[in-house]
Structure 1
Amino acid sequence: MKIIVQVCVLLTVLAFGYSASSTWGIHNATDSIILNKRVFYPAIRNTIQTYYFDVPESYQSNNKVISAIYLQDQFQNSSGPSNFLYAGGPGWTFASIQMRTQTGFGLNVTFVIYGK
């Protein structure tokens, strides 16, 4: 019986680990905000959508080293995307993030990127 409880707790932890909000790196008091942006795309019925978000954005430059990337899902029912840091990130001056929505859900995410 105790094993069943432990398995249920483990599955709950894994479900929260797969949640739509993601964090890469840690910021401290000396970091400044490089980018604070909200991204919204409407849902397409019965479709999984894939989006890429790049820092710096097209035709922009960034000479600050990224220390932390925070991706906050704005949906309150945990129906946000699964996120993957595709390239760059903390310790680099660029980052590319892939976001894949759940079937039939849109994208509503806030990015906050810190750097020095």
Structure 2
Amino acid sequence: MNSSTVEGDDPYEVVSYFVTDRQGVVIQAGTSQRLHLSDHARGGVLHLGAAPHGRFRYIDGEFEPYTPEVSYDLARRDGYPPIEEQLDMLWHAMDQGAMPKAEPFYTTLQKVKQQHPKA
């Protein structure tokens, strides 16, 4: 954005703005006095006007809905059962002889199970 657009006629006029990153994703939106607009543009491209709420990309003057790709590690993490269930699965596999009993893991969990049996 050129400095004449940022400065305008009245440096104290409050205007709407939004900032996009290199991929055009809206990363910040708000209002500011023209005098301080350039302070908001750090790390992105400053645009005058209002951006819709939510995640959007600003491409060729148009807003497009944007859904970031989920990395494999986050997708995998959300797919695993809670850690308590995973530990219980391991203990049962050891208890049934499907895998060797790893100590002290097996006896520690066995003691807890004996102290707090299922009702």
If asked which structure has higher relative contact order (CA below 8 Å, sep 6+), I would say 1
Q: Which has the higher helix share?
A: 2
Same fold (TM over 0.5): no
Q: Which has the higher strand share?
A: 1
Taking structure 1 as the reference length, the TM-score comes to 0.23
Give the greater-gyration-radius structure (CA).
Answer: 2
Taking structure 2 as the reference length, the TM-score comes to 0.23
